[in-house]
Amino acid sequence: MASYPIEIRRCRHVKTNGTQCGSPALKAQELCFYHDRNRPEPVELYLDGERYCDSQIVLPVFEDAHSIQTVIRQVVQLMLTRRIARKDAGLLLYALQIASGNLKMMQAEKAKPTQVVVEPEKAAETPLGMTPWSATGQGHDPDEADDKNGDGNQAEPGQAAAEQAEAQSSPAPPPSPEELYAALTLEERRALRKKFDKQGLFPPQEFENYFMQHGPDPLLLAITRLHAEKPGSQDSSNCGAGAPARDKPASEDSSALVPGA
């Protein structure tokens, strides 16, 4: 568990659901960077364009479902007591719907405590790859929460680097026939069709099915057959059914997948 300097206080903002904010407060202040700029504010209400306000409500910070639910209740109360026009109530409820949809994104972008700025005037002094707390002592680097494995124990030295190197050294799987076909441009498909046609790789019935019955592209079927004939591939009977048997070895056909080869 990281140890924080005693002079760094916890933000004293209490959310609508009764929990306290977990971010560090700005230096020599009581609120964190976010809540210092986003506080519950009273809003005056004007009914039917009147010059003087009729009443007011306090809008909490839209930071969780409880705060949005609280405002929805306030809007319903104002509408039932005719303290707010129905049109204005509809606009407010629509804005609350947008805020509710943004909650998942806010949770995904939630920063770690050591990533929160506590001295905005010194933000320019933070080096790349470090956090505003990196120079304050042990336990304040950006990877402090990533040094633990799934059991909550400290990871062995070099374990993360070894796993990353193993992932990078693993060969990427070859593209599937569909992926290869989709990656070809129109010019490449034309060139490949001419080459395959000269090699007799297109059964006539596949073209008839393609043009008359909106069947699969014969080029895709030919690529699938060539892919199935490569060493180590699965049974070629599942790909390109109905194609005539060919006596050419797979090594001669592998170059046909590259236009102009």
- Domain segments of the chain: what residues? 40-101, 181-242+249-257
What pLDDT score was predicted for residue 73?
Answer: 93
Helix (H, G, I), strand (E, B) or coil at 256: helix
The pLDDT of residue 213 is: 73
Q: Would you say 106 and 82 are in contact if contact means Cβ atoms under 8 Å apart?
A: no
Six token digits for residue 29: 């202040």
Helix (H) or strand (E) holding 42: strand 41-45
- Mean pLDDT per 10-residue interval, the chain, length 261 residues: 67 91 88 90 75 75 91 91 85 91 85 82 79 56 47 50 63 75 82 86 81 80 84 49 42 45 45
Neighbouring residues of 135: CB distance < 8 A, sequence distance ≥ 6:
none
Tokens of 219: 């080029």
Q: What is the pLDDT of residue 246?
A: 45
CA-wise closest residue to 132 among 145, 119, 147: 119
**Residue 242, SS3 per DSSP:** coil
